[in-house]
Amino acid sequence: MHDQASVLRNLASREKHKSKMRVIAVTSGKGGVGKTNFTVNLALALAEYGQRVIILDGDLGLANVDIAFGLTARYTIEHLLSGEKTIEQILLTGPLGIGIIPGGSGVQGLANLEHDQLANVVVNLGRLERMADLLIIDTGAGLGHTVINFLQAADDIIMVITPEPTALTDAYGLLKTLRKEAGEVPIHIVINRVKTEADALATYKRLEVAVSKFLHGSLNLLGWVYDDPLMGRAVMQQVPLGISYPESSAYRCIQWIAGTVTGIYLSPPRQAGGIRGFLSTLLRSF
């Protein structure tokens, strides 16, 4: 794996871009907290702010970003890794020009590329830098090896939690792992399905106190999303909430969060590594 990362760094050094795409990984400590729906609607809200966004579906078990947009993926990242297709050929186009890279189990193939394959993938994924300002990775939930690799390679992490005690326990477990594996990556918390602002703040406070006391770390509250029955209706319709019910309370919260994310992107606390920096770190960790 060290040799593969060295090859990637050499390839990456041949092309330098003044503007680097920012990589944001969206994750959760457990499944069922609304992570993918949040990711899809965050992408829509960011596109409304004028950001060019591409989503990489990095959930190996439940790759369903395309389904959330009402699309069907004919090709996935596996076809890119095999050399059968280019990045442009596998990239789906969603509403507002949002790009979707169908991933599924194919993302694990990044760890097993030969030199010629690696060069092809770097050239293809390198073109994303000209296509988008932000790459959002919808990771799987929990502490899987591939999930941790994605998180430690990202420029920023957004962790979606809910007020349920089990969600908080699992979120703490993931934060404990990230403290060891991805200590330098800023972690932003979004609390989903809250009844009131007070519920959101109380949930965040419980998690923040535990992290400060036992992990000696810090978090950033990015925002919260109200529990909204229209979200469930949008999921059943396979039309993102931001399109089917743009005036809903949940989507207004996500628009507010997107505004904050845009601010982070414009004035980042740490320099973005771009797609090549992301790939270099990712491959080194496999």
Pairwise CA distance, residues 214 & 225, whole Å: 27
Residue 259's domain comprises 2-16+23-148+230-285
Q: Is 252 exposed, middle or buried (0-12, 13-18, 19+ CB in 10 A)?
A: middle
In the predicted model, is pLDDT for residue 107 greater than 80?
A: no
Give which of 60, 20, 70, 62 is closest to 40, Cα–Cα: 70
In the predicted model, is pLDDT for residue 152 greater than 80?
A: yes
Name residue 250's beta-bridge partners.
Answer: none
Give which of 6, 278, 24 is closest to 153, Cα–Cα: 278
Q: Give 176-203 pLDDT, tens digit per residue.
A: 998 887 778 899 999 999 999 999 999 9
Domain assignment present for residue 170? The answer is no
Q: Give 261-272 pLDDT, tens digit per residue.
A: 988 765 545 667
CB of 221 closer than 8 Å to CB of 192: no
Pairwise CA distance, residues 108 & 276, whole Å: 17
Name residue 134's beta-bridge partners.
Answer: 22, 53
Pairwise CA distance, residues 97 & 89, whole Å: 15
> CA-CA-CA-CA torsion for 209, 211, 213, 218, nearest 10 degrees?
-90
Amino acid at 156: D
Q: What is the pTM of this model?
A: 0.86
Domain assignment present for residue 194? The answer is no
Domain assignment present for residue 198? The answer is no
Domain assignment present for residue 174? The answer is no
In which band, very low, low, confident or very high, does the pLDDT at 60 lie, cut at 50, 70 and 90?
low
Pairwise CA distance, residues 212 & 270, whole Å: 22
Domain assignment present for residue 89? The answer is yes
Domain assignment present for residue 217? The answer is no
CB of 279 closer than 8 Å to CB of 286: no
CB of 140 closer than 8 Å to CB of 62: yes
3-state secondary structure of 98: coil
CATH code for position 271: 3.40.50.300
Q: Which of the residue ranges 99-113, 132-146, 164-178, 199-213 would you say has the lowest mean pLDDT?
A: 99-113
In the predicted model, is pLDDT for residue 35 greater than 80?
A: yes
Would you mind telling me the total number of residues written for the chain in this entry?
286
pLDDT given at position 222: 96
* Structural domains in the chain (count): 1
Domain assignment present for residue 211? The answer is no
Strand order in the sheet with 156-161: 92-93, 99-101, 53-58, 134-139, 22-27, 156-161, 187-194, 220-226
Domain assignment present for residue 112? The answer is yes
More confident residue, 283 or 247: 247
